[in-house]
Chains A and B, each alone.
Chain A
Amino acid sequence: MAFCIAVIGKDNAPLYLATSDLERELDLQYHVHAALDVVEEKCLIGKGAPDSKELYLGLLYSTEIHKIYGFVTNSRVKFIVVIDSSNVALRENEVRAIFRNLHMLYTDAVCNPFYIPGEQLFSKKFDRAVQKLMNGST
């Protein structure tokens, strides 16, 4: 369902990145990294209206193959999901659901007292859950 799910820290360093296709991981990483431009721009605009508590940033950009969606938490941790452009059946609501689930998984993982904020996420449980989410079998 999704090509890639990435969790990116507030200083734009990746905390977690999972791809469905290992061969294209580098390329996807480049895409996710580039998507941060759009996230930053959107967050910048969001500063003007502090009331908007909308964490979901929507479609960041799309190419012929990918659609890249973004989500930013209150602590400026960014979630980026790369989805196959050709999958027309996927609705925006479903993307939102992915982000909601991801947010929950992330908060659970971060609540682990042995996790150091700002470090990469190596939690196996989190990884399993994200892989599941990526395959669309939530």
Chain B
Amino acid sequence: MTIDGTALPSELLVIPQPLIGFCGLDIARQVVHKSIWDAFSGTLQRKPADRERDRAAVQYKLLPPNYDFPVAKPKRVSYEWYHPKGILKRNWMLKHLHVLPSVVVLFQDIEWNDSQWTEKQVQCAAIVQALKNALQERNTRLCLVLLQKSAPLPPGEDMLAAERAASLTTACGITSKMLFILPHTEHLMGYTLRLESAFLDMAQSYYALMSKRIRTHRDQLSAAHTSLKIRHQFKLGFVAEMRQDFSTAQKHYLQAYANLDEIRINDGNCMEIKTVAGFLNYKMCRLMFKLKIPRDSINQFIVHVDKYKSRVGFKDLAFEHHAWLSTQHSIFAELFCEAIKNGLPALQIQHPGIYYQKAAEYVIKRREAAKQASETLLSSSLNPTDASQSQANLYTEFFGIRAVKTGDPVAEQQMNMQLCELERNYNHSAAIIALLSQAMAQFKIYKCLRFRKKLAIDMAEEYLLSGDHAKALTLYSLMLPDYRDEKWSTIFSDVLLKTLRCALLSASVADYVACSIEALSLRHHGEQKERVLLLENLWQVFQSVPPMPQTQLTPELQALWGNALSTVKSPIQIDLDKVRDVLELCATFQQVQLNNHDVLQLHLIVRVLTDVPLRIRNFQVLLADANNPQNSYKLEALKYMCFANLLQLRQSQQAERLELKTYEKNMRLEPGCYYQLLCSTEAHQFNENTQLRIVRLEAHMGTDKIAALLTCSANYTRQPFRHHTRSRDLDDNVTINPICYIAPTFHLSTQTNLGHGVNDAPVSITASGTTISTTTMLVNEYYPVVSTISNPYNVYLQNVGLHISVPVELRNSVFLTTDVSTGRQKLHSQIQIDVGELSAHGSNTATFYIFSLVEADIKLQQRLSYTLDVDRSAAGGSVAAAVSQSTTPNSSETTPEHVKVIGSSLAAISPVQIEYLDETRLRKSREDTLSVKCVADFKFSARFYTLNRRPLTQVYRGENFLLRANTEVLAVDDVEILDSFFICDHNLVQSNYSFKRKKYTNKYRAGDQLESVIVLRTNAALQDWLTARDLERAKSEDGATNKFMSRQQKTASSGNIGDPPPLTATAAAGGFMSKSLMAKIPTSMTIISNSAALQPMSGSMQSDDGKLSLSGAEESAVLPASGQDAPKSMRIIFNKALEAVQATGHHRGFIKGVYTLDAAQSSTIPKFGVFCIRWRRPGVKEENESKFIISGLDIAEPPLNIYCTIEEKMFVKMPMAFKVVLKNPTTHVLHLITTLAISKSDNFICSGHKQLDVSIMAYDEKELVYNLYPLQVGWQELPVLTLEYNTKADPQKNDSQNVLLDELVQRALPKRVFVLVSVEL
């Protein structure tokens, strides 16, 4: 049994419900009765909603056959002299809740047509009478339920039933309304519900009557009966609750609570008043929550607590008061929780947790009071044993009243002692912890995490007090990080020291060490002595000795420590990122970038932040590859320097070479000093081309057996605001390089010699390669490049190769080749030169040629690569002392974002690529560019002229015309021109204008000009041009089939002047060849030929290694229609100009193929040939050829061909022949009138037909011969020959055609001659 103050009775806590008693049911033996009972009591299946409602409303009680109803007390006539001993009787609520039913229901098994009806009726009446007797003086309703098997007939039909019912009711002495029939058929539930509501009505009327009776009592009371008034009000409220009339109940309770104030409180009745007040308050609060006025409820509670807080009662029993307060709070908190469960929203500052917390606080106070009380009471002389004998006399039939005569100090004293004794057995800690945990749960719900932390601290404290150190330690160590993060140092110190104490008491080595180290920080305002003590204890633990002077530890604790120290897991990790202010560590690479063969140096700056010196066993730095963080390395600091302040440290960085001391194990680091520790290792142990990142800094502290590992991440962050103190902060004094790039070593160096020239000049060899240029590259030149690849290292390199490629934008205009011997000249876009193996300090050369068609800055991509055997394991083994591959990277590592960013950007810088072929072999390659400037060789232009030196716009078939080729040397260096010639198309016939062969002997320099004039003639119109294929066919076929054609050619060529032998060829469609060729070569063609196997291209027309090219030179942009610039030159590329054509004669042939960048334009224009200049540089054997394609003109069919022959030299007074051959190229007969008009001045004497009618047959020709006798020296006008059609003979011709004829004459006949002085003179 509990003391009244500490708990509320259960009958108070339940919701009062009307009690209905069932008798006559034998549920143990009769199945039907059992099912009926189940249906009522709710264990049978019902709809949940119904059951909820019904159960809340009513309580059934199964009465045994001979149930003792409580006997009603005799009524008092007058209350005048009645003074009750207490306010509330202990049994009253119980009686009305569970003992005294409002309705008694008698169940009887009687059928209407029962054969033993009369006996049963008598029996039933007897039972009813017995019940009536038992319930004398009570208002309890009695009703009878007949259990019948058959369903009842509708009322009024069953006469027997009506008759027998009437007899039964009279026999039993009850009204017919009190008789119910319950057929136990299938609809049991429905009947049950109907019966239940009937019972409930009766119960309601019973309770209503009861309240009326209580009220009548009340009316008899005088003002002196305060306690009775309270009791009556309480009863009224309780009964109203039974009736489910909550607002009335609340009113009555409030009245009772108000009446309570009228009683004067003294020490004796204090407990009773508080108990009753607590009951009433509980009821009120609950009803107010139920009536949805939570604010009032909370206010009521606060007022209630305020009112009674100061009512302690007996001083010695203060614990009782605190227990009562605690109970009040916890009970209210529960009510609050329940209200929240029913939908009440709570606030952050008003929720059940607050009340739970208060309750816990009061329990703490209760414990203190109890302690105090037991000290004062039990120290007194009385014997405590006999006091504890009779616990029963602590309670009376009234709530809150003890069976002690008031005013008897001895008895009171004794009773108090008894209570104290009881209190001593109470487990306060358990209660406190339970309440606190409930409070914590609530605070968590209402987002009061800091409140909750405080509660957790309280709870830990309670655990510590109760001796459960391990739990206390767990809780404390959970709370530590939060307070640490929020930097509430006062609170944190408090918690930390308590944690340390818990760790000590629970012999938790790891926690003890961690807390000790953290407690060394100056942030915890202790004295230095304490820190020294801490440090001493810490070292004791490191040396496996329990801390504190041995005598201060209990033997059990010593044993615990001994056990813990032997099983401790070393090292104990401590995160210095969290535990600040003890040791400051930061590390920096000395260099941001390192070569593979350099020495990696790392500085670690250490500072002790507390005021006691620390011994650190060693320092280590953990490095990792930025790219693959699983590769991590550990470096140990071996040397150090000590500085008194940062200024010295700064200066030391500028000053070179300071003496380094060796770092010894467990060196003592003095507070305030800056220690610069040096780690170094060879960089080649790390992967090349990676970034090393400082991941973690570690400091070991302790011994071999037990040690603390202080780890610290390397993320050094600079403070946004800081003191500008040069001697205080690292920020301004040290540059922190958190990453270091290990640049790869490239074992090859190159030296490139461009152009023709001596390369014996000494060149300093660098890793990146040097380029020496002697001559400037010219267009159309095979420009030699000599790369000397040398290996200055002491390693053996394999598969050394040089790969050169032309950039995409220069493809098809710049080519590469390795072979310029006359037989095999292949041009490529990229070449690979395999140098093979290079032993240590060996070198080799690779030669290739660049050939360009355009003037440009050529940037060739050059890639040098080699493979190398690496033996990583051997290298790692030699320095194993300094570097150990740590296989398990720590999971706590965090990668700072900014490091990653730098990582990716740095990796892109390196030109060296490293590939791992397998475990032991790797390939390295480096990309370079080789830039060569290519300048123009010649400026070439060509024009066509008529024989009388007029610009030619149209060529007539069979007509001679001139090609004038002008070349200007543009080359910056001197060139020797060996030869220049024109290779004309097979369909053209060329003859030099002057039969002197041009001699090229001189060196030419820029600006020098050359000119050559060539006479050309075509014997076929453009559409009749032969192609190479036609020619081959013509050769193989029999000439007889082409009789007509060959005859025609013979006749045509018989009169030609200075012509090469006539051709036997058939006229065929011209331009076909070039057209088809255009279609077959894609403009974007790239030529990749590393091997000899080339893709076959368009049969015989395309040589496998040659390319013809037409560059978009300025001349070709001008259309022939413009007249003056009619002939066009195009540049072509062919290894040898003669190979570009399929030779059919001396300087004649078919152009094998033309490759041009602007194909569309050139397809319709015939090519008259290739102009070629062979040249070389002075002193160099290799010859180059510059080739230009000459675009042709349209070839028209003339009405007449005129050939004029005149002596090469004329002398005065020397007769000479002026021969004009007229050739009819048409199939018609030509009738012409020729007239020779001698000019008026007498410069010639002329003989011959002055006017002649000539008729020329088809394909025939006519010769007109005149003898001229020059009379004067110098330029003389020749007689003018005019031709016109003989319109009489050939009436089709008219004057307009005469104009054309005249034009032909103008073109063909010379106007003037230069007459020399006679030799004889």
A19-37 contact mask (Cβ, 8 Å, vs B): 1 or 0:
0000001100110011111
- Give the chain A neighbours of B490 by CB distance below 8 A: 17, 25-26, 29
- Asked whether any CB of chain A lies closer than 8 Å to the CB of B931, the reply is no
Contact digits for B477-510, partner A, Cβ 8 Å, 1 yes 0 no: 0000000001111110010000000000000000
B349 touches A14 (CB 8 A): no
Does A88 belong to the interface (CB within 8 Å)?
A: no
Known A-B contacts A37-B451, A116-B721, A116-B722; the reply to A61 vs B349 at CB < 8 A is yes
Q: How far is the CA of A38 from the CA of B451 in the complex (A)?
A: 10
Residues of B within 8 A of A26 (CB): 490-491, 494
Given A13-B486, A26-B490, A116-B722: A33 and B348 interface contact (C-beta under 8 Å): no
Pick from A11, A25, A37: contact of B447, CB under 8 Å: A37
Closest to A59 in B: B349
Q: Does A51 contact B (CB under 8 A)?
A: no
Q: Does A117 contact B (CB under 8 A)?
A: yes
Cβ of A12 within 8 Å of any chain B Cβ, yes or no, is yes
A35 to B448, CA, bound (A): 9
CB proximity to A under 8 Å, residues B1196-1216: none
Residue ID in chain A nearest B305 by CB atoms: A64
Residues of B close to A34: CB separation below 8 A: 448, 450-451, 453-454
Q: Chain B nearest CB: distance from A136 CB in Å?
A: 25
CA distance A36 to B450 in the complex (A): 7
CB proximity of A65 to chain B, nearest CB, Å:
11
Number of contacting residues on A, CB 8 A?
22
Judged by a CB distance under 8 angstroms, whether B999 is at the interface is no
**Per-position 1/0 for B441-474, Cβ under 8 A of A:** 0000001111101100100000000000000000
A82 and B722 CA atoms in complex are apart in Å by: 32
Chain A residues with Cβ below 8 Å from B491 are 26, 29-30, 33
Most chain A CB within a 10 A radius of its CB, from B450, B453, B491, B723: B450
Chain A residue nearest to B306 (CB atoms) is A64
Whether A37 contacts B348 in the complex (CB less than 8 A), given A13-B486, A14-B487, comes out as yes
Assess whether A129 is interfacial by the CB under 8 Å rule.
no
Most buried by B among A30, A116, A117, A118: A30
Complex: how many Å from CA A117 to CA B720? 9
Distance A37 CA – B486 CA, assembled complex (angstroms): 13
Which residues of chain B are near A38, meaning CB under 8 Å? 348-349, 448
CB of A35 to closest CB in B, whole Å: 8
* Chain B residue nearest to A40 in the complex (CB): B447
Q: Is A60 an interface residue (CB 8 A)?
A: yes
> Cα distance A14–B449 when bound, in Å?
17
Among residues of A, the one whose C-beta sits closest to the C-beta of B489 is: A14
The smallest C-beta distance from B489 to any residue of chain A, in angstroms, reads 8
Contacting residues, chain B, for A25 (C-beta < 8 A): 490
Q: Which residues of A contact B448 (CB under 8 A)?
A: 34, 37-38
Complex: A26 Cα to B348 Cα, angstroms: 23
* Distance of B718 from chain A, by nearest CB (Å): 13
Contacting residue for B488 out of A33, A35, A37, A118, CB 8 A: A33
Residues of A within 8 A of B450 (CB): 33-37
CB distance from A22 to the nearest CB of B (A): 11
- In Å, the complex CA distance between A122 and B494 comes to 22
Cα–Cα distance between A36 and B486 once the two chains are bound (Å): 11
CB of A24, distance to nearest CB on chain B (Å): 12
Inside 8 A of A36's CB, which chain B residues have their CB? 450
Cα–Cα, bound, A118→B487 (Å): 12
The chain A residue sitting closest to B719, CB to CB, is: A116
Within the complex, which residue of A13, A29, A30, A35 is in contact with B487, where a contact is CB–CB below 8 Å?
A13
Question: Contact at A14–B488, with CB atoms within 8 Å?
Answer: yes
**A76 → chain B, closest Cβ, in Å?**
14
**Chain A 80-92 near chain B by CB (<8 Å), digits 1 or 0:** 0000000000000
CA distance A109 to B454 in the complex (A): 31
* Chain B residues with CB below 8 A from A14, complex form: 487-489
The reply to whether B488 and A29 contact each other, CB–CB distance below 8 Å, is yes
Best-surrounded residue of A12, A13, A37, A60 (most CB of chain B within 10 A): A37
Residues of A within 8 A of B487 (CB): 11, 13-14
List A residues 73-106 near B (Cβ within 8 Å).
Answer: none
Quick one: closest B residue to A12, CB to CB? B486
Query: Once the chains bind, are B721 and A117 in contact (CB under 8 Å)?
Result: yes
Quick check: A33 and B486 within 8 Å, CB to CB? yes
Question: Contact flags (1/0) for B1012-1045 with A, using CB distance below 8 Å?
Answer: 0000000000000000000000000000000000
Q: Is B349 a contact of A60 with CB atoms below 8 Å?
A: yes
A13-B454 in contact (CB<8A): no
Contact B721 A37 (CB under 8 A): no
Cβ-defined contact, B721 with A41, below 8 A? no
Shortest distance from the beta carbon of B146 to any chain A beta carbon, whole Å: 64
Known: A14-B488, A29-B488. A41 touches B454 (CB 8 A): no
Query: Which A residues have a C-beta under 8 Å from some C-beta of B?
Result: 11-14, 17, 25-26, 29-30, 33-38, 41, 60-61, 116-119
Given contacts A12-B486, A118-B721, 12 further A-B contacts (CB under 8 A): A14-B487, A14-B488, A17-B490, A29-B491, A30-B454, A30-B491, A33-B486, A33-B488, A34-B451, A37-B449, A37-B450, A119-B721
6 sampled A-B residue pairs with Cβ under 8 A: A13-B487, A14-B487, A29-B488, A34-B448, A34-B453, A41-B447
Closest 7 CB pairs of A and B: A13-B487, A61-B349, A37-B448, A34-B451, A34-B450, A116-B721, A37-B450
